[in-house]
A and B are shown apart, each in its own frame.
Chain A
Amino acid sequence: MRDRSELYPLKILVAGGFGVGKTTLVRALSEIEPLLTEQQMTETSVGVDDTRAVPDKRTTTVAMDFGRITVDDSLILYLFGTPGQSRFWFMWDELSRGSVGALVLVDLRRVDECFPAIDYFENRRIPYVIGVNTFPGANDHDEEAVRDALALSPETPVQWIDAREASSGIALLVRLVEHALSRTAPVPT
């Protein structure tokens, strides 16, 4: 393009179990409405076994939160709140390709719901940070206990957040980008 300076789209996933605060965080951070997109999926691609009854692939749509932060003149960051269930992993594959990384939100009352997300990003070496959402009781636990419960590696950042507060969400994004940068830096020999 000659008629304007180069533009760089970027994206970050917001993952975690149902009701953990993904939509809340994306809404708190986004500068735009509307915040829902529809992603088409063929059911065969998500391993639904009743498609055998139908010769053609059936298509359904999933709604997905997204938000936008215009970082500067040429950098535009998109946030995608991705449904936590593993049957949506085909969406994660597309969204995580080329991404900066992911925020994994955790509700300490239901920690196991974030395990699929953590495993997903670990297995693909995608940078992620843990955001412990401050639901009632979240402050009763310390970082060591959370690291233990989630079996995190020592370099994975953990931060307590309030998904309703933009400043809190921004702080978590900053943590993620720092983490992603530390992984692109050449390893000293």
Chain B
Amino acid sequence: MRGGAEDGRHGRQPAGRVVPVYAVTGGRTRSAGADLPVEALVTVTDAGRWAENLHLEYRTILQLAAAPVSIVELGAVLQVPVGVARVLVGDLADAGYVAVHRPQVTADGTPGPEILERLLEGLRARSV
């Protein structure tokens, strides 16, 4: 299903497309997105807001990323495995259309106490 749709869109968009579509065709192994954790947050940049001639998946991501949205949410909305969402986001990050916000962890690989304190405060505020 994907192959055919992809080819069709390719034909209609000969020029002006900045972001490659290796991801959906499976041709790419390395990408800025390859090692992104599923909870990494994505936000659209000014350049991304004005981007034109992008394929549907990329446009959808840029729209959703008007507010912070994670890789795993993007995968669910696009109905693609999270690995594909990761690569699509990597493509957009390479093009400067999105910023990616990774989890902040301390030397032992866990969230630091300041972040945990804020999380605790926020959760307690909800429990009343």
Contacts and interface: CB of A to CB of B under 8 A. Distances in A.
A149 interface: no
A75 B101 contact: no
Contacts of B46: 3
Interface range on chain B: under 10, 10 to 19, 20 to 34, or 35 or more?
A: 35 or more
A170 B82 CA distance: 27
Interface stretch (B7-15, B55-63, B104-112): B104-112
B38 A37 contact: yes
Contacts of B2: none
A71 interface: yes
Main secondary structure of the interface of A (DSSP, over half): mixed
A9 B110 contact: no
Nearest to B119: A177
B90 to A, nearest CB: 16
B35 to A, nearest CB: 11
B120 A7 contact: no
Main secondary structure of the interface of B (DSSP, over half): mixed
Nearest to A4: B43
Contacts of B127: 167, 170-171, 174
A103 to B, nearest CB: 13
Contact of A9 (B70, B113, B118): B70
Interface of A: 1, 3-4, 6-11, 32, 34-40, 61, 66, 68-69, 71-72, 75-78, 94-95, 97-100, 167, 170-171, 173-174, 177-178, 180-181, 184-185
17 contacts: A3-B43, A3-B46, A6-B101, A7-B43, A9-B37, A10-B111, A71-B122, A72-B122, A75-B122, A77-B119, A78-B39, A78-B72, A98-B105, A170-B123, A180-B110, A184-B106, A185-B113
Interface of B: 37-41, 43, 45-46, 68, 70, 72-73, 75-77, 80-83, 99, 101-106, 109-113, 115-120, 122-124, 126-127
List 3 A-B pairs, minimum CB-CB distance, nearest first: A71-B122, A7-B101, A9-B39
